[in-house]
């Protein structure tokens, strides 16, 4: 849990003149041209996966803090005109100290154990099929996670702002993997949010707004964020620092009645979407409650070749999300599909 000084800085980020880029807490709003996402050895571009383009002089220049401040100010002015109250709350400018997501009773003492008091993990429930909703399910990451969990025996609702678009993506997936009996269903993001467990796979700049609009449907549910904040600078990707410190924490603050966790950040989208490819990777899972972490780890473990690893609470979100940009560079440089494996766990 952040201390009071940290809370104050997160609640009201300030650009210090002359400070370096990595010291700035402001977020970016998706300005700049669209481009192909170099992701794990292959070029991919998609309307749902757009990152802002950095200026040619890059984030280490002395000009960068002022440019970033102007960018944030223009975005803030626009959004304040359209939805002042919602915007202020989303960035933590309400004047109230940041509070962590509402704590849930965690009855699990250790990973792999069952819930006490007669309750049962929704992932481990016997005799029924869990339905998973994917918000932003028509993008590369959302499509990949949807098809992989459908192949693992789950029902998956592929959500999108446009139900017609979701239907087109589901048809393409069914044609590609004909004969596999994938339980994929198209729907709006609202339909996806009505599922028992929800995965957030939208572009990072729209993640908070998406979940806030669906707060009612997401209340009390596990919401797994796999969103990374990155930008392209020249030919490379660099991680960005949202005002809250991470996308997952921003999501948790936006829907305090939900059980927010983070996972799936480092999986190559191309490999994950290819059911003929064998997976072999560890998935870092973080959440502020033990019960939520345990359930998400169990969800990860249901996919052959994946192993969920508990890396702590929301304090780990920044490190986990930022590492994605480095992995993208590894795959780009070596033209491979690298993933993570943690050794020494037994």
DSSP, collapsed to helix, strand or coil, labels residue 19 as coil
d(CA 261, CA 258): 10
d(CA 131, CA 55): 43
Domain boundaries, the chain: 1-109+220-346
- What pLDDT shows up at residue 22? 36
Pairing verdict, β 281-287 and 306-310? parallel
Tokens linked to 55: 């200026």
d(CA 215, CA 213): 6
CATH number of 1-109+220-346: 3.40.50
d(CA 158, CA 145): 10
- H or E element: which one contains 132? strand 131-135
pTM above 0.95, yes or no: no
- Please name every residue paired with 186 in a beta bridge, in sequence order, or none if there are none: 158
Tokens linked to 135: 């918000």
**pLDDT one digit per residue (tens) for the chain, 346 residues:** 444 443 333 333 333 344 333 333 333 333 333 323 233 333 333 333 445 566 655 555 666 666 666 666 665 555 445 444 444 444 444 434 333 444 333 332 233 333 333 356 778 765 678 999 999 999 999 999 999 999 999 999 999 999 999 999 999 999 999 999 999 999 999 999 999 999 999 999 999 999 999 999 999 999 999 999 998 888 888 999 888 999 999 999 999 999 999 999 999 999 999 999 999 999 999 999 999 999 999 999 999 999 999 999 999 999 999 999 999 999 999 999 999 999 999 7
- What pLDDT shows up at residue 62? 64
- What pLDDT shows up at residue 255? 98
- What pLDDT shows up at residue 148? 98
Tokens linked to 32: 């700049």
- Residue 127's CB is within 10 A of a number of other CB atoms, namely 4
Closest CA to 341 of 266, 275, 237, 290: 266
Quick check: 199 and 134 in contact, CB under 8 A? yes
- What pLDDT shows up at residue 123? 81
- What pLDDT shows up at residue 121? 77
Quick check: 221 and 192 in contact, CB under 8 A? no
- What pLDDT shows up at residue 61? 60
The phi and psi torsions of 186 (rounded to 5 degrees) equal -80, 155
């Amino acid at each position: 849990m952040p201390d009071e000084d940290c809370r104050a800085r997160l609640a009201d980020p300030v650009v210090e003149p002359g400070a370096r880029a990595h010291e700035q807490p402001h977020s970016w709003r998706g300005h700049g041209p669209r481009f192909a996402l170099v992701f794990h050895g292959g070029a991919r571009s998609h309307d749902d996966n757009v990152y802002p383009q950095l200026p040619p002089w890059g984030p280490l220049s002395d000009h960068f803090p002022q440019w970033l401040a102007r960018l944030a100010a223009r975005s803030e002015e626009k959004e304040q005109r359209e939805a002042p109250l919602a915007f202020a709350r989303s960035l933590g400018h309400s004047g109230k100290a940041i509070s962590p997501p509402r704590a849930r009773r965690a009855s699990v003492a250790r990973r792999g154990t069952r819930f006490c008091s007669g309750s049962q993990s929704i992932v481990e429930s016997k005799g029924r099929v869990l339905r998973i909703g994917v918000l932003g399910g028509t993008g590369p990451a959302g499509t990949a996670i949807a098809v992989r969990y459908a192949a693992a025996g789950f029902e998956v609702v592929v959500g999108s702002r446009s139900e017609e678009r979701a239907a087109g993506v589901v048809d393409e997936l069914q044609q590609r993997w004909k004969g596999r009996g994938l339980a994929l269903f198209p729907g709006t993001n609202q339909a996806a949010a009505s599922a028992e467990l929800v995965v957030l796979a939208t572009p990072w700049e729209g993640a908070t707004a998406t979940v806030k609009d669906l707060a009612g449907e997401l209340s009390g549910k596990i919401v797994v964020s796999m969103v990374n904040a990155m930008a392209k600078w020249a030919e490379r990707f660099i991680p960005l620092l949202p005002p809250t410190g991470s996308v997952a924490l921003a999501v948790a603050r936006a829907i305090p009645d939900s059980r927010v966790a983070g996972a799936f950040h480092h999986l190559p989208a191309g490999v994950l979407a290819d059911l003929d490819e064998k997976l072999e990777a560890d998935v870092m899972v973080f959440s502020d409650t033990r019960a939520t972490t345990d359930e998400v780890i169990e969800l990860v473990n249901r996919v052959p070749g994946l192993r969920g690893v508990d890396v702590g609470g929301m304090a780990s979100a920044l490190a986990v999300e930022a590492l994605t940009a480095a992995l993208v560079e590894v795959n780009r440089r070596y033209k491979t599909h690298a993933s993570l494996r943690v050794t020494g766990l037994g």
